[in-house]
C-alpha cells in the first residue's frame, strides 16, 4: 500500500492540505496518510529543532510527501525554512522542482491581450545547488556577507536532462552568463552538450532578466524553461501569477532516479489570511494531482485536474479568484466534479 507522508506545516498549510487529503480520499485508491502535523514554526520556536531525525526517517520511509506551507512571520531568519523544506529537498536529493503554470480559465489571466493569455508551460528548477546550497556562510565582523553559488556539472546535467524529458514544443535555458561567470559558463557548456543530444526539440537561451520580461510580454511562447535555483524561484512565482495567481500553482520536488517526490503548493503560509477560511485549496489539490501522477495514478491525476478546471470554470472560487467560497466549499466543489 502507498504511504504518503503529510506535513501540513504553517499558516494556511493545514487548511488547504485538509482539502487535498479529502480529495485524494474521495478517489478511493487506498493511499495511507502518515500525518506529521507537529512539524511547524511553533515546534521550532519551542524546541529549536526544525525537523527531527525521527521525523526525517519517518518521511523518508514513505513513498512520497505532501507539504502545505513552511514559514511564519516570527521566524524570518532562514534557519527554519532551510531546516524543513530546503533540508528535505537536499537530503532526499529532490533535484528537480517541476512547476507547471497553466491558465485554468481565461478570466483569471492578468494579461490584457487575449492572444497572450493561455500560458501552459513547465518551469524546471534545479533544486539542490545554487545560491541556497552553499556551505560557506560567513560574516567577518558582521560587515561583509558572503554567500556562494554552486553549480556542478552533474547537477546541471541531470536537471537539464530531466527538463528535456518533459519538453513538448521547446526548451528554453535561462542563465545570466553575461554577468555571473563560473556558473554561467558551466550552464552554457552542459546546455549545449545536452541540447545536441535532442536535435528534435527546439531549444533557445535567454538571460534571466529578459526571461522575466518575455513571460509578461507573451507567455504562450514558452513550453519548458530550465534554470537554476534562484532564477527559477522568481520566474516560477511570476509564471504562477500570470497563470492566474499563486493560489492555484502546484509544484513537485522530484528525484527522477529514485522516484521519490515531495509535492507542495507554490504559495506560502499566508499569515494574513490564516484562520479566515478563505485560502484557495486549488494549489494544494493540484499538488496532490502531481503527486498521484508520480505515484503511478495517472488517470486519477487527470480526473482531479479536470475536476478543478470544471469547478473553476463554473465559478466555484475563493476570494483570490474573485469568488466568495470558503476553502472547504471550494474543495467540495472540486470533489463534486470528480
65, 7 Cβ separation under 8 angstroms: yes
Contacts of 294 (CB under 8 A, 6+ apart): 64, 252, 254, 259, 261, 263
**226 binds, options its own copies, ligand IPM, none, Cβ within 5 to 8 A by partner type:** none
162, 195 Cβ separation under 8 angstroms: no
State the binding string over 229-248 for its own copies (x if CB under 8 A, else -): -xx-xxxxxx-xxx--xx--
**216 binds, options its own copies, ligand IPM, none, Cβ within 5 to 8 A by partner type:** its own copies
Q: How far apart are alpha carbons 286 and 281 in whole angstroms?
A: 9
Angle subtended at Cα 49 by Cα 33 and Cα 98, rounded to the nearest 5 degrees: 50
- Residue 72 is among the residues annotated as catalytic for this protein: no
210 binds its own copies (CB under 8 A): yes
281, 331 Cβ separation under 8 angstroms: yes
Report the residue from 209, 217, 275, 322 that binds ligand IPM according to the rule CB under 6 A.
209
Largest CA distance in the chain: 60
Q: Residue 251: enclosing H or E segment and its boundaries?
A: strand 250-254
- Residue 223 is among the residues annotated as catalytic for this protein: no
305 closest CA partner among 317, 320, 288: 288
Q: Taking CB under 6 A as the criterion, which residues in 144-183 touch ligand IPM? A: 178-179
Q: Taking CB under 8 A as the criterion, which residues in 110-139 touch its own copies? A: 110-113, 116, 131-132, 137-139
CB of 99 to its own copies, least distance (A): 11
81 binds ligand IPM (CB under 6 A): yes
Q: Which is nearer to its own copies, 19 or 228 (CB)?
A: 228
**131 binds, options ligand IPM, its own copies, none, Cβ within 5 to 8 A by partner type:** its own copies
From residue 154, how far is each of 129, 136, 318 by CA, in Å? 11, 20, 43
Chain residues that interact with its own copies, rule: CB under 8 A: 71, 76-78, 81-82, 86, 109-113, 116, 131-132, 137-139, 142-154, 176-186, 188-189, 208-210, 212-213, 216-217, 230-231, 233-238, 240-242, 245-246, 268
Amino acid at each position: 500500500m502507498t504511504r504518503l507522508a503529510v506535513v501540513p506545516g504553517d499558516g494556511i498549510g493545514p487548511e488547504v492540505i485538509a482539502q487535498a487529503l479529502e480529495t485524494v480520499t474521495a478517489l478511493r485508491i487506498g493511499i495511507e496518510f502518515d500525518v506529521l502535523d507537529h512539524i511547524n514554526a511553533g515546534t521550532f520556536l519551542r524546541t529549536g529543532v526544525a525537523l527531527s531525525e525521527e521525523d526525517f526517517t519517518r518521511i523518508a520511509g514513505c513513498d512520497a510527501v505532501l507539504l502545505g506551507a513552511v514559514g511564519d512571520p516570527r521566524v524570518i531568519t532562514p534557519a527554519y525554512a532551510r531546516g524543513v523544506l530546503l533540508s528535505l529537498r537536499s537530503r532526499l536529493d529532490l533535484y528537480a522542482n517541476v512547476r507547471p503554470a497553466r491558465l485554468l480559465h481565461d478570466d483569471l489571466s492578468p494579461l490584457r491581450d487575449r492572444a497572450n493569455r493561455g500560458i501552459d508551460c513547465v518551469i524546471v528548477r534545479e533544486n539542490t545547488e545554487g545560491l541556497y546550497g552553499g556551505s560557506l556562510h560567513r560574516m567577518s565582523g558582521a560587515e561583509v556577507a558572503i554567500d556562494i553559488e554552486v553549480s556542478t556539472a552533474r547537477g546541471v546535467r541531470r536537471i537539464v536532462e530531466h527538463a528535456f524529458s518533459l519538453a513538448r514544443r521547446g526548451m528554453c535555458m535561462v542563465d545570466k552568463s553575461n554577468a555571473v561567470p563560473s556558473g554561467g559558463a558551466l550552464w552554457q557548456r552542459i546546455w549545449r552538450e545536452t541540447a545536441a543530444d535532442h536535435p528534435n526539440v527546439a531549444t533557445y537561451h535567454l538571460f534571466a532578466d529578459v526571461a522575466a520580461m518575455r513571460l509578461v510580454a507573451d507567455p504562450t511562447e514558452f513550453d519548458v524553461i530550465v534554470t537554476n535555483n534562484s532564477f527559477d524561484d522568481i520566474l516560477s512565482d511570476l509564471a504562477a501569477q500570470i497563470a492566474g495567481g499563486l493560489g492555484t500553482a502546484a509544484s513537485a520536488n522530484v528525484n527522477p532516479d529514485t522516484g521519490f517526490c515531495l509535492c507542495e503548493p507554490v504559495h506560502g503560509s499566508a499569515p494574513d489570511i490564516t484562520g479566515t477560511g478563505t485560502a484557495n485549496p486549488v494549489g494544494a489539490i493540484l499538488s496532490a494531482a502531481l503527486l498521484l501522477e508520480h505515484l503511478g495514478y495517472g488517470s486519477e491525476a487527470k480526473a482531479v485536474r479536470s475536476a478543478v478546471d470544471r469547478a473553476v470554470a463554473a465559478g466555484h472560487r475563493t476570494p483570490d479568484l474573485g469568488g466568495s467560497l470558503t476553502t472547504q466549499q471550494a474543495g467540495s466543489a472540486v470533489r463534486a466534479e470528480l
